[in-house]
């Protein structure tokens, strides 16, 4: 019998953790007395919001790595981080809005954290559009890497500007210097949900990275077949020859 | 002159080109004025909300017009393969960046020289003060520095007309926030310290983007 590949085990574990998280959030953890039921959105919102901001750092690391080494694997990593960043960014914005509607009475407000997240989300979208419209290969990867670096250094300036402009978002509820506090059951729920969400994020990141790698492999294979075509007369023999070489 | 020589030569080249055909300045100014006029229909401006809304309208017009102008400077370079010629010149990439950014900053400032008085006259907002000059200088530098990097990037993509605003507008949001707030303070006659707090944000952005442009521009032009 063939053993399960590590990725399948990882996926199953993540799915199980997600199930546990849902049970903790909706059944086990007590309702927060001031904010009511909607506060449960926070257990999901906090980890995805952290990842949305973390993703731009990952994109920047991949981008700097690519610009320095010119190795495609750094670019695959940056590209995959941007794609997963769009997903968690959208989730952070949506779950935040769900929380905000009953608490702030609006779906959206132009607070520093919200504004920064939204603008970063648009920079991610710009990154993916750039990948689609830029010339394929190294030049496109390099242009995207420049945007990845710029996005990361721009983020603190956007936050600083928006913070001075207006602020309404509650402070952090956990960690050093937090201005709120959580009951131990709530903290445990947040911890488990964070592990589940982080694991799902990492899984998506790895999957997208593998897709990028496969794409590059296919392009490389196509290039070799074409080269063999031009070397040998007759298309069929050329392709066969390339395959035997590859 | 020294290291400044080639830099100024590149900026001067852009100004000479502009003197001959007036492509960029005319499109910048006309487009900005049209945005001002459209906003006049879109938003009912009264004496009460004028000081609050006016500066926002002004800087939206300048940002949008800036996109058009910055696109133009690089389309001109690309169309006749002039960018290749520029890259063959015995100057470093960061000199090319600084020269192009200086030229673009000059164009934005020159267009503001027309747009600001027209805005003040059309909307009756009192922004023609000395402080506005500081806002204009700092904001134009930020727009030009970021715009030069993104303009050079966008020009080598398909559908470059959409790529530049999509990349440029989110990134320059700190400049817009700072410029709008600073101009609003100037218009309401606030103290210098109230204005300078917003100028600091733009100055930080300028510094970061000039340094980033100098470091990153070599990768933009490589192919």
The pLDDT tens digits of the residues spanning B36-85 come to 999 888 888 777 777 778 899 999 999 999 998 888 888 888 887 888 88
Please state, in angstroms and as integers, the Cα–Cα distance from residue B60 to each residue in A72, A156, A201, B177, following that order. 39, 22, 37, 10
Pick the more confident residue, B8 or B136.
B136
- In this prediction, residue B166 carries a pLDDT of 94
Q: Quick check: B218 pLDDT over 70?
A: yes
Q: Report the C-alpha gap between B149 and A65 in whole angstroms.
A: 20
Q: Report the C-alpha gap between A122 and A113 in whole angstroms.
A: 14
- pLDDT bracket for residue B86 (50, 70, 90): confident
Mean pLDDT, chain A, rounded, equals 86
Q: Quick check: B147 pLDDT over 90?
A: yes
- pLDDT bracket for residue A179 (50, 70, 90): low
Q: Report the C-alpha gap between B72 and B105 in whole angstroms.
A: 14
Counting residues of chain A whose pLDDT is more than 70, the rounded percentage is 87
Residues of A in contact with B174 (CB under 8 A): 154, 157-158, 160-162
B interface residues, A as partner, C-beta within 8 Å: 146, 149, 153, 156-159, 162-163, 166-167, 170-171, 173-174, 177-178, 181, 197-198, 201, 204-205, 208-209, 212, 216, 219-220, 222-223
Q: Report the C-alpha gap between B37 and B44 in whole angstroms.
A: 12
- pLDDT bracket for residue A246 (50, 70, 90): very low
Q: Quick check: A54 pLDDT over 60?
A: yes
Q: Quick check: A235 pLDDT over 60?
A: no
CB A115 within 8 A of CB A158: yes
Residues of B in contact with A122 (CB under 8 A): 166, 170
A27 touches chain B (CB under 8 A): no
Compute the average pLDDT of residues B31-40.
Answer: 90
- Written as six digits, the tokens of B24 are 């960029």
- pLDDT bracket for residue A59 (50, 70, 90): very high
CATH class entry, domain A7-170+180-216: mainly alpha
Q: Quick check: A175 pLDDT over 80?
A: no
- Written as six digits, the tokens of B128 are 């023609």
- In this prediction, residue A102 carries a pLDDT of 85
User: Where is mean pLDDT largest: A57-66, A131-140, B190-199?
Assistant: A57-66
- How many of the other CB atoms lie within 10 Å of CB of A243? 12
Domain layout of chain A by residue ranges: 7-170+180-216
Q: Quick check: A234 pLDDT over 60?
A: no
Name the residue among A130, A139, A146 with its Cβ closest to that of B216. A146
Mean pLDDT, chain B, rounded, equals 88
CB B136 within 8 A of CB B89: no
Pick the more confident residue, B63 or B88.
B63
Shortest CA distance to B107 belongs to which of B155, B76, B151, B65?
Answer: B65
- In this prediction, residue A169 carries a pLDDT of 63
- Residue A103's φ and ψ, nearest 5 degrees, are -85, -45
The pLDDT tens digits of the residues spanning A87-145 come to 999 999 999 998 888 888 888 888 888 888 999 999 999 999 999 998 888 889 999 99
Residues of A in contact with B156 (CB under 8 A): 134-135, 139, 143
Q: Quick check: A237 pLDDT over 90?
A: no
Give residues 152 to 191 of A whose Cβ lies within 8 Å of B.
Answer: 153-154, 157-158, 160-162, 164-165
- In this prediction, residue B18 carries a pLDDT of 82
The DSSP letter of residue A119 is H
- Torsion A117-A79-B169-A94 (CA) sign: negative
CB A43 within 8 A of CB A189: yes
ipTM: 0.88
Domain layout of chain B by residue ranges: 4-221
Shortest CA distance to A154 belongs to which of B70, B211, B22, B25?
Answer: B211
The burial class, CB within 10 Å (0-12 / 13-18 / 19+), for B178 is buried
- In this prediction, residue A68 carries a pLDDT of 94
Candidates A126, A128, A167: best to mutate against B (most CBs of B within 10 A) is: A126
Residue B15's Cβ-side half-sphere holds a number of Cα atoms within 13 Å equal to 16
CB A48 within 8 A of CB A226: no
CA distance A148 to chain B (A): 11
Which chain A residue shows the shortest CA-CA distance from B217?
A146
CB B35 within 8 A of CB B65: yes
- Residue A30's φ and ψ, nearest 5 degrees, are -70, 155
- Torsion B66-B68-B70-B72 (CA) sign: negative
Q: What global pTM score does this model have?
A: 0.86
Q: Quick check: B159 pLDDT over 50?
A: yes
Q: Do B177 and A142 touch (CB under 8 A)?
A: no
Under 8 Å CB pairs connecting chains A and B tally to 85
Angle at CA of residue A17, ends A11 and A18, nearest 5°: 90
- In this prediction, residue A173 carries a pLDDT of 60
CA distance A121 to chain B (A): 9
Name the residue among A125, A146, A160 with its Cβ closest to that of B220. A146
Pick the more confident residue, A79 or B158.
A79
């Amino acid at each position: 019998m063939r053993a399960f590949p590590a990725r399948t085990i990882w996926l199953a574990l993540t799915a199980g953790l997600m199930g546990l998280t849902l049970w903790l959030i909706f059944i086990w953890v007590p309702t927060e007395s001031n904010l009511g039921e909607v506060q449960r959105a926070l257990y999901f919102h906090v980890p995805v919001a952290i990842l949305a901001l973390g993703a731009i750092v990952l994109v920047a690391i991949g981008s700097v790595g690519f610009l320095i080494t010119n190795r495609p694997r750094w670019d695959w990593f940056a590209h995959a981080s941007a794609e997963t960043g769009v997903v968690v960014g959208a989730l952070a914005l949506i779950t935040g809005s769900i929380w905000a509607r009953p608490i702030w009475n609006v779906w959206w407000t132009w607070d520093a954290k919200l504004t920064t997240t939204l603008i970063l989300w648009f920079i991610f979208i710009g990154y993916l559009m750039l990948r689609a419209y830029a010339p394929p290969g190294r030049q496109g990867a390099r242009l995207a890497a420049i945007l990845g670096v710029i996005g990361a250094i721009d983020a603190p300036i956007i936050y600083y500007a928006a913070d001075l402009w207006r602020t309404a978002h509650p402070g952090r509820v956990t960690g050093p210097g937090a201005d709120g506090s959580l009951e131990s059951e709530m903290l445990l729920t947040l911890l488990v949900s964070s592990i589940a969400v982080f694991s799902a994020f990492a899984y998506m990141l790895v999957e997208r990275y593998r897709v990028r790698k496969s794409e590059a492999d296919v392009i490389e294979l196509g290039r070799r077949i074409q080269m063999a075509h031009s070397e040998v007369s007759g298309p069929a023999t050329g392709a066969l020859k390339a395959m035997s070489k590859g | 002159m020294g290291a400044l020589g080639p830099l100024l030569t590149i900026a001067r080249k852009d100004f000479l080109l502009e003197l001959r055909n007036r492509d960029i300045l005319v499109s910048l100014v006309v487009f900005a004025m049209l945005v001002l006029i459209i906003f006049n229909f879109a938003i009912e401006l009264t004496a009460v909300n004028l000081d609050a809304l006016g500066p926002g309208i002004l800087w939206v017009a300048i940002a949008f017009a800036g996109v058009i102008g910055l696109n133009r400077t690089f389309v001109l370079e690309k169309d006749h393969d002039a960018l290749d010629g520029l890259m063959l010149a015995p100057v470093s990439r960061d000199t090319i960046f600084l020269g192009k950014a200086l030229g673009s900053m000059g164009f934005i400032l020159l267009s503001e020289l027309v747009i600001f008085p027209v805005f003040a006259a059309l909307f009756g907002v009192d922004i023609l003060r000395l402080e506005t000059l500081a806002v204009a200088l700092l904001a134009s530098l930020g727009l030009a520095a970021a715009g030069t990097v993104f303009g050079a990037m966008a020009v080598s993509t398909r559908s470059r007309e959409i790529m530049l605003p999509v990349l440029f507008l989110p990134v320059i949001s700190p400049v817009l926030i700072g410029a709008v707030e600073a101009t609003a303070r100037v218009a309401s006659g606030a103290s210098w310290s109230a204005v300078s707090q917003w100028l600091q944000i733009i100055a930080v952005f300028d510094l970061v983007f000039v340094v980033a442009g100098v470091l990153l521009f070599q990768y933009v032009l490589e192919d």
